[in-house]
Amino acid sequence: MADADTMKREREAVAAAGRRLAADGLVIGTSGNLSVRTGRRVAVSPTGAVLAELEAADVAVVGLDGIHRAGPWAPTSELALHLEIYARHGSGAVVHTHAPVATALGLVLDELPCVHYEMLGLGGPVRVAAYATFGSSELATAVAEALEDRAAALMANHGAVTHGPDLAAAVRATHLLEWACRLYWRAAAIGTPRVLDPEQLGAVVDTIAARAYGVTRAVDPGEPTAEKGH
């Protein structure tokens, strides 16, 4: 069981992340929700919350059984979505937004193809979960299935969902997803975007491992910092 101090920290984290997502234009008004799991407790944004104004005291706490444990307000109407993702994937946090470009692509695509190697941070191509009414068990199941081996999914005619081991990772995935969606949208307005094939993506994975790409490290004074041309 999560102790009171831990859940206080998690409620503060949910509120701060909600305000950041609003400031970054990824949620507008009440259109989005997010949560963090600690043990068998989940701190989750409340229903009808304006995320730009969210405070820790507003954040609800529920059990993985969905029973309300703390907070003055009922949890988001998308609680079933969050709980299904936790049950199926063991995630540490879930973020659901109606980010504008991600939502737009979910109106027309069945899958967002891997057009840039940075999308490996989302697990590769992003699936589009079939449409179902918000708050329904059908939607929760469809999205959880679309997230298999992925950090993100689009939702047909609805929005987007990301998850991760912690809230920071889920928020990063939300930003990366919207960036990738914007990239695809702009490229598709010019022509047909090229899609990276499995061999190309495998080479990226190998290079990341060999070069510790994305990890800050000190420079060895005797080490060349770039490959020489031949």
User: Which DSSP string corresponds to 4-47?
Assistant: HHHHHHHHHHHHHHHHHHHHTTS--TT-EEEEEEETTEEEEPBT
User: What's the CA gap between 41 and 43, in Å, rounded?
Assistant: 7
Nearest to 4 by CA among 70, 66, 82: 70
pLDDT at 229 > cutoff 50: no
Considering the domain 4-211, what is its CATH architecture? 3-Layer(aba) Sandwich (3.40)
CB 120 within 8 A of CB 201: yes
User: What's the CA gap between 15 and 61, in Å, rounded?
Assistant: 12
**190 DSSP 8-state letter:** H
CB 196 within 8 A of CB 124: no
For residue 99, the Cα-to-chain-centroid distance in whole angstroms is 11
Q: Which of 78, 84, 111, 223 is catalytic?
A: 78
Residue boundaries of the structural domains of the chain: 4-211
Nearest to 176 by CA among 118, 124, 216, 127: 118
Residue with tokens 């969210």: 54
- Alpha-carbon separation of residue 143 from 48, 83, 148, 178, 222 (angstroms): 22, 12, 9, 17, 50
CB 30 within 8 A of CB 22: no
Residues 6+ apart with CB under 8 A from 57: 11, 71, 72
Give mean pLDDT, residues 3-26.
Answer: 92
**For residue 189, what pLDDT is reported?**
97
Question: What pTM did the predictor assign?
Answer: 0.90
**For residue 1, what pLDDT is reported?**
47
Active site residue 12: no
148: confidence class by pLDDT, cuts 50, 70, 90: very high
Query: At what angle are helices 137-146 and 79-89 packed, to 10 degrees?
Result: 40
pLDDT tens for 78-107 read 999 999 999 999 999 999 999 999 999 999
Residues β-bridged to residue 116: none
The average confidence (pLDDT) of the chain is 93
Task: Establish how many alpha carbons lie within 13 A of residue 192's alpha carbon, considering only the half-sphere containing its beta carbon.
Answer: 2
